[in-house]
Amino acid sequence: MTDLFQEPNDATPLAPEEREGLLQSWITYRADLNEAEQENIVKGANWARRSRRRTVIGILNDEFVRELHKKMFGDVWNWAGSYRQTERNIGIEAYRIPNELGALLGDVKYWVDQETYRPDEIAVRFHHRIVKIHPFPNGNGRHARLLADMLIELLGGEPFTWGGGSLADVGELRKNYIAALQAADGFNIGPLLEFARS
């Protein structure tokens, strides 16, 4: 499976290797895929809003993390909700995903319990660490932003604005977002905290 992230153009037909696992045969162009994914994500977000597991402990476990991904992408991709098996240019080695994700979820629960950071910073650090793990073949950014939004709401805050526009398009906004993630890699969480509320 190719990483879909680099693809530039909505009018580009999807290559055969990009169609691996695609459940809807009408999808031909990248624009079709974006549309199908977006519709699925709206359904997934609605499901998340109603979920009985909408508590801090309920969402900070690997079962919920996978279920949420499946609800967001499972109408479009047969691998939705399953951890990645192959390497990507972003993310840790695939075999380490279950362990590293478990450790992260433990850390976040500890931060909440101990009030290690203020709520925004807990949710934004969670977002940064989970996209760095990159648990799924695709959809990691959108999934990790929804998870961070769910967590901040459960901690009493408003959902984030994430720059206030589409991060799917290659543009200034996405560039700033990636730069903020890279600053967080260098232990400077400030830019990502600011970006999430911009």
Which stretches of the chain bind ligand ADP, using CB under 6 A? 4-5, 90, 131, 138-142, 167, 178, 181
The option from Mg ion, ligand ADP, none interacting with 94 (CB < 5 to 8 A, set by class) reads none
Span of 1-9, 42-50, 69-77, 128-136 interacting with Mg ion by CB under 5 A: 1-9
Q: Which of 33, 64, 84, 138 binds Mg ion (CB under 5 A)?
A: 138
Q: How far is CA 105 from CA 65, 100, 101, 112, in A?
A: 10, 9, 6, 11
CB of 185: closest distance to ligand ADP in angstroms?
8
Can you give the C-alpha Rg of the chain in angstroms? 16
The option from Mg ion, ligand ADP, none interacting with 90 (CB < 5 to 8 A, set by class) reads ligand ADP
Q: Which of 1, 2, 4, 167 binds Mg ion (CB under 5 A)?
A: 4
State the first-to-last Cα distance of the chain, in angstroms, to the nearest integer: 33
CB of 46: closest distance to Mg ion in angstroms?
21
Quick one: 125 or 142, whose CB is closer to ligand ADP? 142
CB of 140: closest distance to ligand ADP in angstroms?
3
Coil vs helix vs strand at 198: coil
Say if residues 166 and 173 touch (Cβ distance below 8 Å): yes
Tokens standing for 148? Answer: 């961070």
- What are phi and psi for residue 166, nearest 5 degrees? -80, 125
CB of 131: closest distance to ligand ADP in angstroms?
4
Span of 4-12, 68-76, 89-97, 122-130 interacting with Mg ion by CB under 5 A: 4-12
5 binds Mg ion (CB under 5 A): yes
Coil vs helix vs strand at 29: strand
Distance between CA 132 and CA 10 in Å, rounded? 26
CB neighbours (10 Å) of residue 51? 16
Binding site for Mg ion (CB under 5 A): 4-5, 138
